[in-house]
Structure 1
Amino acid sequence: MDAPRNDVSTEPPRFAPDAGGKTWTFASPAEANMDPAPLLQADEDIQKRFPKMRCFLVAKDGALVFERYYGGADASTRLDLRSATKSATAAVAACAGALGDDGGEKPPTLEALFPELLPRAASEDVRATTTRQLLAMTSGLHWKTGKRLGEAFVPRLHRSRHWVRFALRLPVDPETRGAFVYRSVDSHLLSAAVTAATGRPASDVAQEAIFGPLGIAPPPWEADPQGVTVGHIGLALTGRDLAKLGWLHATGGVWEGRRILPPDYVRLAFTPLGEGLPAFGRYGGHWWIARAATGEAVRCALGHGGQLVFVVPERRLAAVFAADPKVSRWKHPLSLFERYVLAADPDGPGAASPPPS
């Protein structure tokens, strides 16, 4: 398939007024003013061409309007998100106040967060690295990543006795400082920042601040040898859980009229902060941002094997595709989202109005 285009606008997302005010419910596509035919065609296409797919769900206007499972999975099956975990980690960091805010609170630095763990020989660049740089993956910490997101140093991180110390010992490469490099160690440091800020694992903060309010039962989420919640992988959620997270982001962080995520965080996460990679799009705040054939910016939480949460807040739309991650090669489901989900939705580009100031 064609690679997602990363020539997307740098404009922030537009959230529909009161998009999060409705009660989460179930509805037919027709009840949500969607055409069911393209969604049924997507179901057929998945069964023919995506043998590793495990679920496909669509949420529109606060309702789950389409839901299919494959390969023995069902609504109770928890799916390994792989790197889509990163998007959840970012949301938890925002809720924990670990990212600063647009009201003047500066994001904390590694020196402020980890004074006892930073090596004495750490450079000023390492010490001054902020959580906002971790969020955008522009820290400059020494790392090697291929064009298909293969990371040479991840096995070393996982073999180390102390993952946070391992990360803090990495030097900063001046040539990549401020430039996007896909770097899982940045995500793990974000999770560690949550613990440094709150004294609690990110998984506990997630349950209290996000998962609990969304009605998500405590999910499995792996931890490193020191008990720090793994920031880059290790979270498992059901398809419905993922649909809820997608809809929460589509509303700008509001769930059934209640503010869950800081509004400045969602705008930051959904705005391109780095160049990204041609095969996946530009990079925001731990979300990918690709341009669909319609010209729209599509925000994506993405994990190896085909774990995708697509969000188009301007359409009040979210969709989930999740597959078996134990594969070396996989098909990106963006073509399914473009060809069928967007085609089923009448609310095209520019349909939603920006919220009142």
Structure 2
Amino acid sequence: MHSMELQPLIRGLTDLEISSCLITQKGTAVLEYYDEPQTAAELSKINSCTKSVLAALISIAIDQHIVPPPHTPIIEFFSQLGQDSDIRKRQITLAHLLTMSSGFNWTEFGGQNSFPTMTKTADWVQFVLSQPLADLPGTRMVYNSGNSQLLSAILRQATGQSVAEFAEEQMFQPLGITDYRWDTDPQGIHTGGFGLYLKPQDMSTFGQLYLQQGRWKGDQLISSATVQHSTSPLIEVNPPHTGFYGWHWWISSFSNGIEHQDEVVYHYARGFGGQFIIVVPSYELVCVITKNKHRKNSAPVDVFRQYIVPYLLQQG
């Protein structure tokens, strides 16, 4: 990408009131756009991109045998499920939580408003576990930040550390991430589904770790097999969303416009209101988008697909 080609993209980012857009290709910064100079130094609320960071920490803990294998039923951590009248809950595994297929009857926003309701309770974990099942565990993907909170509670139980302490030791320090904020629930468990604040550049570094199959400066922080599995299309997502879901990563693809060629597959972390960490392995590309201003009733724009993919395709 040359700077002349980037001018229309930068105009588009400005019009859309994007706070930051960072594109790194083959380890080189191609675009570093900030709406204001101070945005680079400020912590961004990454919302549900937190889920993909949590998945990385769970992956590390599974690799190190601190957390048991993905097929392990979560009753090992939440013995109270043994008293639940619905015995199907005893079938819920770590993998079901990671792929959002635990089966709980849950409407994140709208409908039951399960997510806001959870955050108003005195014990979020207990609230999630007490929800009735709508599906047999493992059969259907339903987006549920409660699953993420259970994973955060499991990580704390298994490591004996707070999730943030484990993150610092195992991932943030190696990646050079020194500045962050992370909210907690009433029990002091770090929020698994949202609530992490990072600088845009540190979001990009996290994406780069996944592009590099879990390797960073000669150290394998996450095994490449776990990175590959966790970012592969493990379950189809439910409308209104499209595509697939891995372990707290979304998976999609775009056509490269060449006849008889494959779709270009990519995986991404997505946060409410326009936070993205996008990894496109075949282009050796990481893209971060943050947006702090929210215009009421403005239609969401897929900045990556509408503005950035055309530039990738121009490169041939």
Measured against the shorter chain, the TM-score band is: 0.7 to 0.9
AA at the equivalent of 1:123: D
Partner of 1:318 in structure 2? 286
Partner of 1:93 in structure 2? 58
1:297 matched to 2:265: yes
Taking a change above 3 Å as real, the CA distance of residues 127 and 73 of structure 1, as seen in their structure-2 partners, is: farther
Taking a change above 3 Å as real, the CA distance of residues 161 and 105 of structure 1, as seen in their structure-2 partners, is: closer
1:284 matched to 2:246: yes
Taking a change above 3 Å as real, the CA distance of residues 105 and 234 of structure 1, as seen in their structure-2 partners, is: closer
Taking a change above 3 Å as real, the CA distance of residues 72 and 150 of structure 1, as seen in their structure-2 partners, is: farther
Aligned CA-pair RMSD? 2.5
1:293 is displaced (CA, Å) by: 3.1
Output the CA distance in 2 between the equivalents of 1:38 and 1:281. Answer: 30
Output the CA distance in 2 between the equivalents of 1:209 and 1:168. Answer: 28
Output the CA distance in 1 between the equivalents of 2:278 and 2:153. Answer: 27
1:260 is displaced (CA, Å) by: 1.1
Output the CA distance in 2 between the equivalents of 1:214 and 1:130. Answer: 30
Structure 1 unmatched ranges of 5 or more? 1-33, 349-357
Output the CA distance in 1 between the equivalents of 2:9 and 2:83. Answer: 56
**Structure 1 segment 72-221 matched on structure 2, within 5 A:** 73-97=38-62, 105=69, 107-115=71-79, 117-118=80-81, 120-145=83-108, 152-174=113-135, 177-221=138-182
What percentage of residue pairs aligned between the two structures are identical? 30
Output the CA distance in 2 between the equivalents of 1:285 and 1:76. Answer: 30
Deviates more, 1:260-269 or 1:311-320: 260-269
Output the CA distance in 2 between the equivalents of 1:36 and 1:282. Answer: 34
Output the CA distance in 2 between the equivalents of 1:311 and 1:279. Answer: 19
1:257 matched to 2:225: no
Q: Is the 8 A contact 2:22 2:288 kept in 1?
A: yes
Output the CA distance in 2 between the equivalents of 1:37 and 1:258. Answer: 37
Q: Is the 8 A contact 2:214 2:224 kept in 1?
A: yes
Structure 2 unmatched ranges of 5 or more? 257-262
Taking a change above 3 Å as real, the CA distance of residues 255 and 235 of structure 1, as seen in their structure-2 partners, is: same
Q: Is the 8 A contact 2:277 2:289 kept in 1?
A: yes
Output the CA distance in 2 between the equivalents of 1:172 and 1:38. Answer: 51
Output the CA distance in 2 between the equivalents of 1:66 and 1:151. Answer: 41
1:177 is displaced (CA, Å) by: 4.5
Q: Is the 8 A contact 1:250 1:311 kept in 2?
A: yes
1:338 matched to 2:309: yes
Larger RCO, structure (CA 8 Å, separation 6 or more): 1
Output the CA distance in 2 between the equivalents of 1:175 and 1:93. Answer: 24
AA at the equivalent of 2:146: V
1:325 is displaced (CA, Å) by: 6.1
Taking a change above 3 Å as real, the CA distance of residues 289 and 249 of structure 1, as seen in their structure-2 partners, is: same
Taking a change above 3 Å as real, the CA distance of residues 105 and 172 of structure 1, as seen in their structure-2 partners, is: same
1:12-44, Cα deviation, whole Å (9 max, x unpaired): xxxxxxxxxxxxxxxxxxxxxx43333333112
Q: When the two structures are superposed, what TM-score results if normalisation uses the length of structure 1? A: 0.78
Aligned residue for 1:95, secondary structure, equals helix
Output the CA distance in 2 between the equivalents of 1:189 and 1:275. Answer: 22
1:125-180, Cα deviation, whole Å (9 max, x unpaired): 2122111111111110121257xx98721111001101111111122223675211
Output the CA distance in 1 between the equivalents of 2:131 and 2:148. Answer: 14
1:230 matched to 2:191: yes
Output the CA distance in 1 between the equivalents of 2:107 and 2:147. Answer: 13
Output the CA distance in 2 between the equivalents of 1:65 and 1:99. Answer: 35
Deviates more, 1:106-115 or 1:254-263: 106-115
Q: Which has the higher helix share?
A: 2
Q: When the two structures are superposed, what TM-score results if normalisation uses the length of structure 2? A: 0.88
